[in-house]
């Protein structure tokens, strides 16, 4: 009985090992970037980029102010391979933060995201290549 049990678990162990080895290959095909920086006056900025199922890149950029003040204006500029994809003024929500989401082409991207607080002149800058 023990011999049968041991022999029947071998194929299952091989299948589990094979599927575990396949995960890193799938992850490599789907780049994911999560980068955090401290801004010039203590706020926190975050840039996340990940590949969607369609092959395009999803970009999320946001700032969380150290003082949670609503309605603060931030000038935001995001470029992808030197092409401007965001150039606008955003205001913080009740929690003192804002974020934007954009979809980019599937090509390799060199992203520069800059947010400047229009009142305090605090600057948040993140540079990343995906």
Q: Which of 127, 61, 66 is nearest to 98 (CA)?
A: 61
The count of structural domains within the chain is 2
Residues 16 and 64 grouped into a single domain: no
Q: Are residues 12 and 26 in the same domain?
A: yes
Residue 122 pLDDT > 70, yes or no?
yes
Percent of the chain with pLDDT over 90: 68
46: pLDDT strictly greater than 60: yes
Do 64 and 23 have their domain in common? no
Q: Report which secondary-structure segment, H or E, holds 51.
A: strand 44-51
CATH code, domain carrying 48 = 2.60.40.150
60 and 123 fall within a common domain: yes
Q: Give pLDDT, residue 119.
A: 96
Is residue 11 domain-shared with residue 47, that is, in the same domain? no
Regarding whether 41 and 102 lie in a shared domain, the answer is: yes
The radius of gyration of the chain from alpha carbons, rounded to an integer in Å, stands at 22
Higher pLDDT, 66 or 46: 46
Mean of pLDDT values over 35-41: 97
Residue 2 confidence (pLDDT) above 80: no
**pLDDT classification of 32: cutoffs 50, 70, 90:** confident
Whether pLDDT at 66 is above 70: yes
Domain that holds residue 15: 1-30
CB neighbours of 7 closer than 8 A, spacing ≥ 6? none
Q: In terms of domains, do 17 and 37 share one?
A: no
């Amino acid at each position: 009985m023990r011999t049968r049990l041991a022999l029947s678990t071998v194929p299952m162990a091989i299948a589990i090992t094979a599927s575990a080895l396949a995960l890193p290959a799938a992850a490599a095909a789907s780049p994911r970037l999560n980068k955090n920086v401290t801004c010039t006056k203590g706020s926190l900025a975050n840039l996340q980029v990940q590949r969607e199922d369609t092959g395009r890149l999803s970009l999320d950029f946001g700032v969380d102010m150290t003082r949670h003040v609503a309605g603060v204006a931030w000038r935001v500029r995001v470029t992808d391979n030197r092409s401007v994809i965001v150039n606008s003024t955003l205001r913080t929500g009740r929690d003192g933060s804002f974020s934007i989401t954009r979809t980019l082409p599937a090509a390799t991207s060199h992203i520069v995201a800059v947010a400047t607080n229009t009142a305090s002149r605090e600057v948040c800058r993140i540079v990343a290549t995906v």
